[in-house]
Each structure stands twice: as C-alpha cells, then as structure tokens.
Amino acid sequence: MESFQIVVQAVKELSETLSKVDKTEVTKLVQAIRHSKRIFLTGAGRSRLMLQAFAMRLMHIGFQVYIVGEVTTPAFLAGDLLIAASASGETKSILQTARKAKEYQGQVAVFSIFPESSLGETADILVKIPAYTDKLPSSAENKMGILPGGSMFEEAVLLLGDALIVELASEQQIDTSKAFANHANLE
C-alpha cells in the first residue's frame, strides 16, 4: 500500500476511534481544566509528546501548565489537576506519578485505551480511546489498525486535545484565527 492510501485509511480509523469516545468524560475533563488553578501533564514516549503539544496550547490560551519531570516544574498541590496519557495504562513511571498526585489530593484525568488498567483505576476522569497498543497482547479490545505501535492512540489524543482547546478558547473569547499572544517570542 502506498503512503497516501495509508493516510486515507488512517484518517478513517482515527475518525471511527474518536466517534467512540464518551462525550460525558470529555465534558468532565473540560470542566476540570476550567476549574483548576494549575495543570500538570505526564506521559512517556510519544504519549508524552502529544501532551507536550496540548500543554503548549493550554499555555497559549492562558492556563498555568507544567510538564512532570521538567526541572522548572514546581510541587504538585491539593486542588491541582494531573492529566496523564498512557495507551497501555501500565507504564510504571506514569502510574507512580498518578498515585502520588492522588496522595497530594489532586485530581487525576487519564487518556488510555484501558479504563480497567492500573492507571485507569487511579483516575477521577477517564477518557477511553479505543485504539491499539503494541505494549499489550492483541485482543478484541486491542486490535491493530493501519498504523503501528501506539500511533492511533497518540494521534487521537493530539486531535482531541486540539478540539478541547478550541472549546476552551471560545469561552474565553480568544480569537484562534490569530497567532496566540502567549506564544514563545524568543524562538
């Protein structure tokens, strides 16, 4: 199959995947973001990259955001929100971070394929993304599509994150047709 045909199939699968996401959980996440003083984001590998992109947009529209593990990230406190992305829901470092956030009486929101995973069990808000990960055995629930590894999960997180930004920005009357005033100006 040629690359462009793969793109067409991937976009179809991405659309099917996102159409199965529970809108109620997404609404809960939007509300949690709206009401959090500070938002911390965590993930490993490509899941982390997707949340870094989401964090940048949250910063663009005025939220106070931190990536867990960066040297300038401050202490997580009661009332803070942790957003974690893990396709498998079993990545040890992410699970440990989420458990600590609960100990510090924060709220935990999780993007994962598996609500019943160890990470899923720590979540106050669980946005299930029915995609595939190569980190767990294939099954009816974990069926590979056209893309390898955790790509479909990751791309769904990226697109969903961008959609949340459009919703949150419109509430704050931020004009997303212009460059974000908060975007880095030392680049």
Tell me which residues touch ligand LJD2ZHX5 (CB under 6 A).
44-47, 86-88, 91, 94, 133, 135, 149-150
- C-alpha distance from residue 143 to each of 116, 139, 146 (Å): 17, 6, 10
Catalytic choice (154, 167, 171, 187):
154
Q: Which is nearer to ligand LJD2ZHX5, 60 or 133 (CB)?
A: 133
- At a CB cut-off of 8 Å and minimum separation 6, what does 90 contact? 117, 118, 119, 135, 136
- Which structure tokens are listed for 125? 């808000």
CA 73-36-49 angle, to 5 degrees, is 50
Give the span between the Cα atoms of 50 and 55, in whole angstroms: 9
Q: Which is nearer to ligand LJD2ZHX5, 87 or 164 (CB)?
A: 87
Closest CA relative to residue 52, chosen from 127, 123, 158: 158
Q: Which is nearer to ligand LJD2ZHX5, 61 or 95 (CB)?
A: 95
The residue sitting closest to ligand LJD2ZHX5, measured at its beta carbon, is 45
In Å, how far from its chain's centre is CA 2?
30
In the complex, the smallest distance separating the C-beta of residue 100 from ligand LJD2ZHX5, rounded to whole angstroms, is: 16
Q: Which is nearer to ligand LJD2ZHX5, 142 or 168 (CB)?
A: 142
Residue with tokens 């949690």: 32
In the complex, the smallest distance separating the C-beta of residue 8 from ligand LJD2ZHX5, rounded to whole angstroms, is: 21
In the complex, the smallest distance separating the C-beta of residue 117 from ligand LJD2ZHX5, rounded to whole angstroms, is: 9
Q: Catalytic site residue 154? A: yes
Q: Which residues are catalytic?
A: 154
